[in-house]
Amino acid sequence: MKVGAASIIALGMIVALGLLGSTLSSAVNDMQTWDRVVTVKGLSEKEYIADQVIWPIQFVDAGNDLPALYDNIAKNSQNVANFLKSKGVSEESITIGKPEITDKLAQQYGSNDGAPFRYSAIQTVTVFSEEVEKVRLLMQQIGELIKTGVVLSEQSYRAQPDYVFTRLNEVKPAMIEEATLNAREVAEKFAMDSKSTLGKIKRANQGQFSISSRDSHHPHIKKVRVVSTIDYTLID
Protein backbone atom coordinates (compact mmCIF):
# COMPACT_ATOMS: atom_id res chain seq x y z
CA MET A 1 0.00 0.00 0.00
CA LYS A 2 1.35 3.38 -0.97
CA VAL A 3 2.09 5.97 1.73
CA GLY A 4 -0.39 8.44 0.15
CA ALA A 5 -3.26 5.96 0.24
CA ALA A 6 -2.46 4.99 3.83
CA SER A 7 -2.46 8.64 4.84
CA ILE A 8 -5.87 9.18 3.25
CA ILE A 9 -7.30 6.14 5.06
CA ALA A 10 -5.85 7.27 8.36
CA LEU A 11 -7.21 10.76 7.85
CA GLY A 12 -10.63 9.33 7.01
CA MET A 13 -10.64 7.21 10.18
CA ILE A 14 -9.70 10.25 12.29
CA VAL A 15 -12.55 12.28 10.77
CA ALA A 16 -15.00 9.38 11.23
CA LEU A 17 -14.00 8.92 14.86
CA GLY A 18 -14.39 12.63 15.43
CA LEU A 19 -17.86 12.62 13.93
CA LEU A 20 -18.77 9.54 15.95
CA GLY A 21 -17.58 11.18 19.14
CA SER A 22 -19.57 14.31 18.38
CA THR A 23 -22.66 12.25 17.61
CA LEU A 24 -22.28 10.24 20.82
CA SER A 25 -21.78 13.40 22.84
CA SER A 26 -24.88 14.94 21.30
CA ALA A 27 -26.85 11.74 21.93
CA VAL A 28 -25.75 11.67 25.57
CA ASN A 29 -26.80 15.28 25.99
CA ASP A 30 -30.13 14.53 24.35
CA MET A 31 -30.65 11.54 26.66
CA GLN A 32 -29.84 13.65 29.68
CA THR A 33 -32.27 16.32 28.50
CA TRP A 34 -34.94 13.68 27.78
CA ASP A 35 -34.55 12.35 31.33
CA ARG A 36 -35.12 15.80 32.86
CA VAL A 37 -38.87 16.24 32.84
CA VAL A 38 -41.55 18.11 34.75
CA THR A 39 -45.03 16.61 35.10
CA VAL A 40 -47.87 19.11 35.21
CA LYS A 41 -51.66 18.98 35.17
CA GLY A 42 -53.95 21.25 33.20
CA LEU A 43 -57.59 21.82 34.09
CA SER A 44 -60.55 22.80 31.95
CA GLU A 45 -63.95 23.21 33.59
CA LYS A 46 -67.10 24.52 31.90
CA GLU A 47 -70.81 24.76 32.68
CA TYR A 48 -73.47 23.89 30.12
CA ILE A 49 -77.25 23.63 30.18
CA ALA A 50 -78.52 20.06 29.81
CA ASP A 51 -80.10 19.35 26.44
CA GLN A 52 -82.41 16.50 27.45
CA VAL A 53 -84.75 15.97 30.39
CA ILE A 54 -86.39 12.77 31.61
CA TRP A 55 -89.27 13.57 33.94
CA PRO A 56 -91.16 10.69 35.56
CA ILE A 57 -94.55 11.77 36.94
CA GLN A 58 -95.76 9.26 39.51
CA PHE A 59 -99.15 8.98 41.13
CA VAL A 60 -100.68 6.47 43.52
CA ASP A 61 -104.08 4.85 43.86
CA ALA A 62 -105.72 2.14 45.97
CA GLY A 63 -108.88 0.06 46.13
CA ASN A 64 -110.45 -3.30 46.85
CA ASP A 65 -111.79 -3.94 43.34
CA LEU A 66 -108.88 -4.73 41.03
CA PRO A 67 -110.65 -4.13 37.67
CA ALA A 68 -112.01 -0.82 38.98
CA LEU A 69 -108.53 0.13 40.17
CA TYR A 70 -107.10 -0.53 36.71
CA ASP A 71 -109.85 1.60 35.15
CA ASN A 72 -109.10 4.47 37.52
CA ILE A 73 -105.37 4.23 36.80
CA ALA A 74 -106.05 4.38 33.06
CA LYS A 75 -108.29 7.43 33.54
CA ASN A 76 -105.73 9.27 35.66
CA SER A 77 -102.93 8.36 33.24
CA GLN A 78 -104.93 9.97 30.46
CA ASN A 79 -105.54 13.01 32.66
CA VAL A 80 -101.78 13.39 33.12
CA ALA A 81 -101.15 12.98 29.38
CA ASN A 82 -103.87 15.51 28.52
CA PHE A 83 -102.41 17.98 31.01
CA LEU A 84 -98.97 17.66 29.46
CA LYS A 85 -100.25 18.05 25.91
CA SER A 86 -102.29 21.10 26.92
CA LYS A 87 -99.01 22.68 28.08
CA GLY A 88 -97.28 22.10 24.76
CA VAL A 89 -95.59 18.72 25.31
CA SER A 90 -95.76 16.61 22.17
CA GLU A 91 -97.48 13.24 22.27
CA GLU A 92 -94.26 11.56 21.13
CA SER A 93 -92.54 12.82 24.28
CA ILE A 94 -95.04 11.13 26.62
CA THR A 95 -94.84 7.49 27.68
CA ILE A 96 -97.44 5.81 29.90
CA GLY A 97 -95.87 2.94 31.84
CA LYS A 98 -97.34 -0.24 33.23
CA PRO A 99 -98.82 0.19 36.73
CA GLU A 100 -97.19 -1.53 39.68
CA ILE A 101 -99.92 -3.30 41.69
CA THR A 102 -99.41 -4.59 45.23
CA ASP A 103 -101.83 -7.13 46.71
CA LYS A 104 -101.48 -6.69 50.45
CA LEU A 105 -103.20 -9.99 51.22
CA ALA A 106 -100.63 -11.82 49.11
CA GLN A 107 -97.63 -10.34 50.93
CA GLN A 108 -95.61 -12.95 52.79
CA TYR A 109 -94.53 -10.79 55.72
CA GLY A 110 -96.40 -8.42 57.97
CA SER A 111 -100.03 -8.09 58.95
CA ASN A 112 -102.37 -6.03 56.80
CA ASP A 113 -105.52 -6.52 58.84
CA GLY A 114 -105.83 -2.79 59.41
CA ALA A 115 -105.27 -1.76 55.79
CA PRO A 116 -108.38 -0.08 54.33
CA PHE A 117 -107.62 -1.27 50.79
CA ARG A 118 -106.38 -4.59 49.55
CA TYR A 119 -104.70 -3.26 46.40
CA SER A 120 -102.33 -0.31 46.03
CA ALA A 121 -100.87 0.96 42.78
CA ILE A 122 -98.05 3.20 41.55
CA GLN A 123 -98.24 4.50 38.01
CA THR A 124 -95.58 6.44 36.08
CA VAL A 125 -96.06 8.74 33.10
CA THR A 126 -92.69 9.79 31.70
CA VAL A 127 -91.76 12.88 29.71
CA PHE A 128 -88.65 12.66 27.54
CA SER A 129 -87.90 15.96 25.85
CA GLU A 130 -85.15 18.17 24.48
CA GLU A 131 -87.14 21.28 25.44
CA VAL A 132 -85.54 21.47 28.85
CA GLU A 133 -86.66 24.96 29.85
CA LYS A 134 -90.26 24.34 28.81
CA VAL A 135 -90.42 21.17 30.90
CA ARG A 136 -88.77 22.87 33.88
CA LEU A 137 -91.44 25.58 33.85
CA LEU A 138 -94.12 22.92 33.52
CA MET A 139 -92.86 21.20 36.67
CA GLN A 140 -93.94 24.26 38.63
CA GLN A 141 -97.50 23.80 37.39
CA ILE A 142 -97.82 20.10 38.19
CA GLY A 143 -100.08 20.88 41.16
CA GLU A 144 -102.92 21.53 38.70
CA LEU A 145 -103.26 17.77 38.31
CA ILE A 146 -104.52 17.47 41.87
CA LYS A 147 -107.75 19.17 40.75
CA THR A 148 -108.40 16.24 38.40
CA GLY A 149 -108.11 13.71 41.23
CA VAL A 150 -104.53 12.59 40.60
CA VAL A 151 -102.62 11.89 43.84
CA LEU A 152 -98.98 12.68 43.03
CA SER A 153 -96.04 10.86 44.58
CA GLU A 154 -93.35 13.52 44.23
CA GLN A 155 -91.26 12.41 47.20
CA SER A 156 -90.23 9.11 45.64
CA TYR A 157 -86.63 9.04 44.38
CA ARG A 158 -87.95 7.47 41.20
CA ALA A 159 -90.07 10.57 40.55
CA GLN A 160 -87.10 12.95 40.37
CA PRO A 161 -86.23 14.44 36.97
CA ASP A 162 -82.98 13.49 35.28
CA TYR A 163 -81.09 15.97 33.13
CA VAL A 164 -78.70 14.78 30.43
CA PHE A 165 -75.91 16.55 28.58
CA THR A 166 -75.27 14.82 25.24
CA ARG A 167 -72.98 17.32 23.45
CA LEU A 168 -69.71 16.18 25.01
CA ASN A 169 -68.07 15.42 21.65
CA GLU A 170 -68.82 18.99 20.54
CA VAL A 171 -67.08 20.62 23.50
CA LYS A 172 -64.17 18.18 23.85
CA PRO A 173 -61.70 19.80 21.41
CA ALA A 174 -61.92 23.28 22.95
CA MET A 175 -61.69 21.93 26.49
CA ILE A 176 -58.68 19.73 25.69
CA GLU A 177 -56.98 22.75 24.11
CA GLU A 178 -57.67 24.84 27.21
CA ALA A 179 -56.39 22.11 29.55
CA THR A 180 -53.21 21.76 27.45
CA LEU A 181 -52.57 25.52 27.49
CA ASN A 182 -53.17 25.59 31.23
CA ALA A 183 -50.66 22.77 31.71
CA ARG A 184 -48.06 24.57 29.58
CA GLU A 185 -48.43 27.76 31.62
CA VAL A 186 -47.72 25.79 34.78
CA ALA A 187 -44.74 24.05 33.16
CA GLU A 188 -43.29 27.34 31.90
CA LYS A 189 -43.53 28.83 35.38
CA PHE A 190 -41.73 25.79 36.79
CA ALA A 191 -39.00 26.03 34.13
CA MET A 192 -38.50 29.72 34.82
CA ASP A 193 -38.25 29.15 38.57
CA SER A 194 -35.68 26.40 38.02
CA LYS A 195 -33.72 28.55 35.50
CA SER A 196 -34.37 26.07 32.71
CA THR A 197 -35.99 26.22 29.30
CA LEU A 198 -39.14 24.27 28.58
CA GLY A 199 -38.64 21.62 25.91
CA LYS A 200 -40.93 19.30 24.00
CA ILE A 201 -43.78 17.18 25.29
CA LYS A 202 -42.45 13.78 26.32
CA ARG A 203 -45.77 12.20 27.29
CA ALA A 204 -49.37 13.38 27.45
CA ASN A 205 -52.46 11.89 29.05
CA GLN A 206 -55.73 13.56 28.10
CA GLY A 207 -57.59 12.35 31.18
CA GLN A 208 -61.25 11.40 31.49
CA PHE A 209 -64.13 13.81 31.14
CA SER A 210 -66.61 13.98 34.00
CA ILE A 211 -70.13 15.39 33.90
CA SER A 212 -71.97 16.29 37.10
CA SER A 213 -74.74 18.59 38.26
CA ARG A 214 -73.51 21.98 39.42
CA ASP A 215 -75.41 21.54 42.69
CA SER A 216 -78.57 19.94 44.07
CA HIS A 217 -80.62 23.08 43.38
CA HIS A 218 -79.58 23.37 39.71
CA PRO A 219 -79.39 19.81 38.34
CA HIS A 220 -80.10 21.09 34.81
CA ILE A 221 -76.76 22.94 34.81
CA LYS A 222 -74.00 20.45 34.09
CA LYS A 223 -70.38 20.91 35.07
CA VAL A 224 -68.02 19.32 32.54
CA ARG A 225 -64.45 18.78 33.72
CA VAL A 226 -61.22 17.31 32.34
CA VAL A 227 -57.68 17.18 33.75
CA SER A 228 -54.80 16.57 31.34
CA THR A 229 -51.42 15.29 32.60
CA ILE A 230 -48.40 16.27 30.49
CA ASP A 231 -44.66 15.58 30.85
CA TYR A 232 -42.39 18.32 29.44
CA THR A 233 -38.62 18.07 29.02
CA LEU A 234 -36.40 20.68 30.68
CA ILE A 235 -33.30 22.10 29.01
CA ASP A 236 -30.51 23.95 30.84
Question: For position 105, which CATH number holds?
Answer: 3.30.70
**Which residue, 164, 185, 201, sits at the end of a domain?**
164
Around Cβ 123, how many Cβ atoms within 10 Å? 23
Domain C-terminal end among 108, 130, 164: 164
Lowest mean pLDDT among 27-41, 46-60, 99-113, 193-207: 27-41
Kindly state whether residues 57 and 150 are assigned to the same domain: yes
Shared-domain flag, residues 169 and 154: no
pLDDT for 122-150, tens place per residue?
A: 999 999 999 999 999 999 999 898 888 89
Q: What is the mean pLDDT of the chain?
A: 85
Domain count, the chain: 3
127 & 183 share domain: no
Say yes or no: 76 and 92 in one domain. Answer: yes
Do 77 and 146 fall within a single domain? yes
Which among 139, 167, 145, 175 is positioned nearest to 59, based on CA atoms?
Answer: 145
- 56, 46: one domain: no
Query: Rounded to an integer, what is the distance from CA 210 to the centroid of its chain?
Result: 4
- Kindly indicate the confidence band of residue 23, based on its pLDDT and cuts at 50, 70 and 90: very low
CA dist 191 and 236 (Å) reads 9
Give the list of residues 6+ apart from residue 70 with CB closer than 8 angstroms, or none: 99
For the residues 57-72, what does the mean pLDDT come to?
Answer: 94
Task: Please give the helix or strand (H or E) that residue 136 lies within, else none.
Answer: helix 132-139
Assess whether 141 and 64 both reside in one domain.
yes
CATH of the domain at 211: 3.30.110.170
Distance CA 182, CA 205 (A): 14
Residues 46 and 106 in one domain: no
The answer to whether residue 236 scores a pLDDT higher than 50 is yes
- Residue 78 shares a structural domain with residue 144: yes
Residues 209 and 192 placed together within one structural domain of the fold = yes
Do residue 64 and residue 148 come from a single domain? Answer: yes
Q: Which residue has the higher pLDDT, 217 or 6?
A: 217
Q: Compute the distance between CA of residue 166 and CA of residue 50 in angstroms, rounded to an integer.
A: 8
Burial 12-30 (b: 16+ CB within 10 A, else e): eeeeeeeeeeeeeeeeeee
What pTM was estimated for this model as a whole? 0.76
Examine the domain organization and report whether 148 and 68 are in the same domain: yes
- Which residues form the domain of 80? 52-164
Which of 164, 199, 223 is the last residue before a domain boundary? 164
Q: Which residue has the higher pLDDT, 27 or 150?
A: 150
pLDDT tens column, 84-129 = 999 999 999 999 999 999 998 877 565 556 678 899 999 999 999 9
Number of H helices, E strands in the chain: 4, 10
